[in-house]
Chain A
Amino acid sequence: MEADISNSNFHSAPGLFIKFILLVVLALTLMAFDYRKAESMAPVRTLFSILAYPLQWSVDVPFRVYNETAAFFTEQSNLTVENNALKDQLRLYEARYQDMVIVEQQNERLREELKANPRKGFEFSMAEILSSSGERVRRIVTLNKGSRDGVYEKQVVLAGGKVYGQVLSVSPFSSTVIQLTDQRHAIPVRNQRTGFTTLALGTGKTNTLRLDKVVIQSEDKIQEGDIFVTSGLDELFPPDFPVARVIKNGISYDQSSQFAQITTESLVDFEQTREVLLVWPKNHPNESPLAAAPADGSTSIPQHSSSTQSERSAP
């Protein structure tokens, strides 16, 4: 009984309060530095990202196991059917690709004649989403590729040909990506139909973006169902990639304000996406090692077999 009392009496642990104050001050200092000068805290963040990587990896294990067992137990006949369908699709795309090559060559020649800047090409690489932020208001995910794979900050991330977001921070094995719908994200967009430009701002809600300060009486500029694509005005996102669509009844007017409220839905379904494409502009200093591989003669790097090599470099 006596042991219990001395245990539960906080006076028996005189160092506790001092330790508590010390740690609170330490945490506040960290927060102040991280808020004011995020780059000064990058080493700490990187260290803990490396420590956290096994945890994220282990969270991902059940999904991977499920996928693999599902693949293992798929019937042979199903696989054959799927394989044939994919082969057909590949043939179709091959034909289209040939057409693209011709158009691209034509484009290059015309640009040359017009003395316009040559169009920049891109290299792509697949990455898998390991985990998403538990913070309700933030829309941030972690990818299984990091600086080791050539990922760099502010890199553009696509999903199925549509804009997904951009890289926020990089550690050796993983990187974090901020989605378009994060409250702090904005992307310059252009109405595909009318050419009207504005900003699409994240709302923190699932698959929802709102357009920035569109003046009333702009029916001719924006209608329901209009698709917005990147305008490329920020020189970060390449132009003409689809971003969002104006939803039904997404345009509302507030009498007290001179701006219309326009709600759009992102074309990427952020809930369903598990794999994304990282984009490198051609001749970028940080270009992915695998994308650069064919240039210096080596054929392929086996451990990066999941990555896709853009075929634009072929012609």
Chain B
Amino acid sequence: MNAITPRFWGAVLVSMLLAVILSVVPLPEPLQMWRPEWVALALIHWALVLGHRVGLWMAFIIGLLMDVLHNSLLGQHALELVIVGYLAIRLGGRMTPEAYFQQFVLISAVLGLYMLLSLWIRGVTGYAQEGNTWQYWAPLLSSLLIWPLYQWLLSYFYIQKKGL
């Protein structure tokens, strides 16, 4: 059916690095709270498109890069992204790329787990969130809302050969 290949060598890596940049671009305080989880979304996108050809090692290295950029515990984002990548590859194999509703369910489940994990890790290491707890989950909603647009933009990074 459809053969999908990255547009150029290293396209996956380039798109992931762009997502990392998006995740650290300074935003004004009110918007800061709604910043979508760009990197996790990009990883899910590639897991859905390429399946197991997405390297978990790459997710791990990108995660370490995020840890340094965000000054979190070394390995925190790496762990979260590896889990996101693995789940998305395993679950994504069972759906077609056009099934938007299924995708929304998958993304909310995987991203929810991702954010829950980071909440636990922060709790253990003494960085429990103070104040409004619903604010913590705001990026989940914004990620879901931005997903169709983001997926469309990311589709530039691969070539789909139809037919045959």
* A interface, CB within 8 angstroms of B: 1, 3-4, 7-10, 12-13, 16, 19-20, 23-24, 26-31, 33-35, 41, 44-45, 48-49, 51-52, 55-56, 58-59, 131-138, 140, 142, 168, 176, 183-184, 203-206, 271
A52 with B69: CB separation less than 8 A = yes
Q: Which residue of A lies closest to B78 (CB)?
A: A27
With A8-B93, A132-B26, A134-B35 given, is the CB distance from A183 to B121 under 8 Å?
no
Interface size class, chain B? 35 or more
Majority SS at the chain B contact face: helix
29 A-B residue pairings within 8 Å (CB atoms): A3-B1, A8-B93, A8-B94, A12-B52, A13-B52, A28-B79, A30-B78, A31-B73, A31-B121, A34-B74, A34-B75, A45-B68, A48-B64, A49-B68, A51-B65, A55-B21, A55-B24, A56-B69, A58-B21, A59-B25, A59-B26, A131-B69, A134-B70, A135-B72, A136-B32, A138-B71, A203-B130, A205-B130, A206-B29
Task: State in angstroms the CA–CA spacing of A51 and B17 once bound together.
Answer: 11
Chain A: CB-nearest residue to B164: A3
Chain A residues, CB < 8 A from B17:
55
Tell me if B56 counts as interface (CB < 8 A to partner A): yes
Please tell me which one of the listed residues A10, A16, A48 contacts residue B56 in the complex, with CB atoms under 8 A apart: A16
Considering only residues 88-117 of chain B, those with a C-beta below 8 Å from chain A are 89-90, 93-94
Contact residues in A for B135 (Cβ distance below 8 Å)? 136
Which B residues are CB-close (under 8 A) to A52?
65, 68-69
Q: How far is the CB of A255 from chain B (nearest CB, A)?
A: 22
Of all chain B residues, the one with the shortest Cβ separation from A9 is B93
CB nearest to B22 among chain A residues: A59
Contact B25 A23 (CB under 8 A): no
